[in-house]
Structure 1
Amino acid sequence: MSGRVTVVGSANVDLVTRVERIPAPGETVTAESFNIYAGGKGLNQAIAAQRAGAQTELIAAVGSDSYAQVLIDTVAGEGMDDTLLRREPGSTGTAFVTTDATGENNIVIVPGANGRLRRLTDAERDCIRRADVLVCQLEVPTSAVEDAVTTAWEAGTAVVLNPTPVRPVPAAILAAVDVLIVNEHEAEQLRVDELPVPCVLTTLGPKGATLRIRGERTIQVPARRTIAIDTTGAGDTFVGAFAAEIARGIGYAEAATRANVAASLSVEEEGAVPSIPTRQAVDDALSVERVENQ
């Protein structure tokens, strides 16, 4: 069983500059390189799920500018249905990413067409109903996320929410969430231990992740040793890979382990989408770890 994943979220072009160090306020530095990549949390997570072996559909919006075609071509090139990308007048969502020599980054996002994804159509709701797992983030209006998770809850589709950028999450959304995936900073800001969700996964970068299922002990998900080149999109890789695994019927702990390996592989290359590994790459990395641990 490959499983079906539907992602409702953002699609951006990433304008990425690489610098020796991220400038301080008011400071100017010279970039070592500049590249344009497809990105956005929704698109990244959808591609991560697709490369992890799930049948994936992305519900998102692009603009009427030249950047829109970059995203359409990227989605089609992954074997996903590009007709689910709405074409909205105006600009495509854009992220300005600065990455330093340690792999850390800072990001400024202009929502563009993402901000006009407010409600879903009947056809888009049907995509959610036939999925095993729905994935959402908060880079699109809350109304679209609430529409999506309500549809999923009514259909019995599992809901994975990555609540970033951090903002208050309405109770109606939280009530439909099966798994909440956050990083350690988001976990602190949202006080996730107090949220009424069945499962919380907290990613910890080079320290791995923790998995807390209500009523059970917290599980530590081990990290894979890696050297970070670019951490952009690592969290999205984790989310998409995890969703693909649970869509296949894999348990949360094993799914989180595979997702953690996928995320660790993604930081070893530049660019959010180019660095997302395939299922085979994750299998190979796990095989190497087993041999090393014998």
Structure 2
Amino acid sequence: MDIRPRITVVGSINMDLVTITAKLPKKGETLIGQQFIMNPGGKGANQAVAAARLGAQVKMIGCVGNDSFGVSLMQHLQNEGIDISNVEPVTDSTGTATILVSDNDNRITVVPGANRYVTADFVESKREVISESDILIVQLETPLDGVEKAVEIAREKNITVILNPAPICALPAKLIEQVTYLTPNEHEYTQLTENMAQQAIQDKVILTKGSKGVSFFANGAEVEIPAYKVETTDTTGAGDSFNGGLAYALGTGKSLEEACQFGNAVAALSTTKLGAQKGMPTINEVKTFRKMEVAVK
């Protein structure tokens, strides 16, 4: 029987509003677009869905607005099998990302809205939920003091903590010290090491490098985990898929190397379909894919 790890995600819940157009409008210009799509998003919700699709017992801690987007996103998370009893509506708009996509460019405006309410006090009220977890996942699309509080609670219980440092910002040394794993991409890693010595975070970092796979340090040596080769349709949400897959695998007792390999498979499969959450694979899809890869080799 597969183990179902208990994963708690503290993070953002957004509605992505995507407009596809042949070209972006100039100042004062109105254009007719080609397509409009609404997709559930937010790094927190994305990572929660990724872990839940794999079979983890996922609890989401966050906030939505008292609007139709909030209702829709709560229903969506529940439909994905995620425990939403700790997602609270607040008197504000639900977080949104307005995305303009053209043939050669894209522009994104994020309005945090209800995500701003995921503060230290709010997270403290969820102490018991975090304390009962096997793995805690946090990112940086909600207030930093709330992230710090969640990590502090988890570490008091020796719970494994994955911090996906995106969008990147200056991080307190104490927070870095408390997390178990940091999962930056190459750009985020560069910025992290501008503010602190590489050696200080080296043993915590799992560096995600897109089509080049991931790497981490063990016993002073760099371990390279290559990416799976797939026909890529859309890379949106691949990083979030990796984090969800990593958390699930660690929660089932896999070694760090095995967990990174598993996370790579989850991320690779997510890129074969359109949309962030829509493309995230189930555990059966991942198992079948990995068996096929072994057979090919």
1:65–1:91 CA contact under 8 A, matched in 2: yes
Residue 212 of structure 1: CA displacement?
A: 2.1
Match of 2:236 in 1: 232
Which of residues 247, 270, 279 is equivalent to 1:275? 279
Is there any run of 5+ residues in structure 2 with no aligned partner, and where? none
SS state at 2:183 partner: strand
1:234–1:264 CA contact under 8 A, matched in 2: yes
SS state at 2:227 partner: coil
SS state at 2:175 partner: helix
Q: Distance in 2 between matches of 1:228 and 1:101?
A: 17
2:19–2:35 CA contact under 8 A, matched in 1: yes
| Higher mean C-alpha displacement, 146-155 vs 111-120 | 111-120
Which of residues 209, 221, 244 is equivalent to 2:225? 221
1:10–1:40 CA contact under 8 A, matched in 2: yes
Which of residues 44, 47, 57 is equivalent to 1:42? 44
Residues 232 and 24 of structure 1: CA distance in aligned 2, closer, same or farther (over 3 Å): farther
Q: How does 1:120-139 map to 2 (within 5 A)?
A: 120-121=122-123, 124-139=126-141
Match of 1:117 in 2: 118
Which of residues 150, 172, 190 is equivalent to 1:148? 150
Q: Percent identity?
A: 37
Which of residues 250, 256, 261 is equivalent to 1:252? 256
Residue 101 of structure 1: CA displacement?
A: 6.1
SS state at 1:230 partner: coil
1:133 maps to amino acid: I
Residue 97 of structure 1: CA displacement?
A: 2.7
Match of 2:15 in 1: 13
Q: Distance in 1 between matches of 2:31 and 2:212?
A: 31
Q: Distance in 2 between matches of 1:251 and 1:19?
A: 45
Residue 105 of structure 1: CA displacement?
A: 5.6
Residue 19 of structure 1: CA displacement?
A: 4.7
Residue 217 of structure 1: CA displacement?
A: 1.5
Residue 98 of structure 1: CA displacement?
A: 4.0
Which deviations, in whole Å up to 9, do the C-alpha atoms of 1:109-149 show, x marking residues without a partner?
Answer: 11000011112355511111111110000000011001100
1:42 maps to amino acid: G
SS state at 1:86 partner: strand
Residues 107 and 287 of structure 1: CA distance in aligned 2, closer, same or farther (over 3 Å): farther
Q: Distance in 1 between matches of 2:208 and 2:154?
A: 25
Match of 1:264 in 2: 268
Match of 1:76 in 2: 78
TM-score, L = length of structure 1:
0.91
1:179–1:197 CA contact under 8 A, matched in 2: no
Q: Distance in 1 between matches of 2:15 and 2:134?
A: 28
Which deviations, in whole Å up to 9, do the C-alpha atoms of 1:131-185 show, x marking residues without a partner?
Answer: 1110000000011001100000101111100011110111221111111001111
Residues 123 and 108 of structure 1: CA distance in aligned 2, closer, same or farther (over 3 Å): same
2:170 maps to amino acid: P
1:175–1:197 CA contact under 8 A, matched in 2: no
Q: Distance in 2 between matches of 1:52 and 1:105?
A: 31
2:258 maps to amino acid: E
Is there any run of 5+ residues in structure 1 with no aligned partner, and where? none
Which of residues 192, 199, 208 is equivalent to 1:203? 208
Match of 2:109 in 1: 108
TM-score, L = length of structure 2:
0.90
Task: Name the Cα RMSD after superposition.
Answer: 2.2
Q: Distance in 2 between matches of 1:187 and 1:197?
A: 10
SS state at 2:55 partner: coil
1:12–1:95 CA contact under 8 A, matched in 2: yes
2:123–2:146 CA contact under 8 A, matched in 1: no
Q: Distance in 2 between matches of 1:222 and 1:31?
A: 39
Q: Distance in 2 between matches of 1:122 and 1:2?
A: 25
1:135 maps to amino acid: I
1:45–1:240 CA contact under 8 A, matched in 2: yes
2:225 maps to amino acid: V
Q: How does 1:41-60 map to 2 (within 5 A)?
A: 41-60=43-62
Which deviations, in whole Å up to 9, do the C-alpha atoms of 1:189-225 show, x marking residues without a partner?
Answer: 1117344363211111111111224x33111111111
1:178–1:198 CA contact under 8 A, matched in 2: no
1:114 maps to amino acid: N
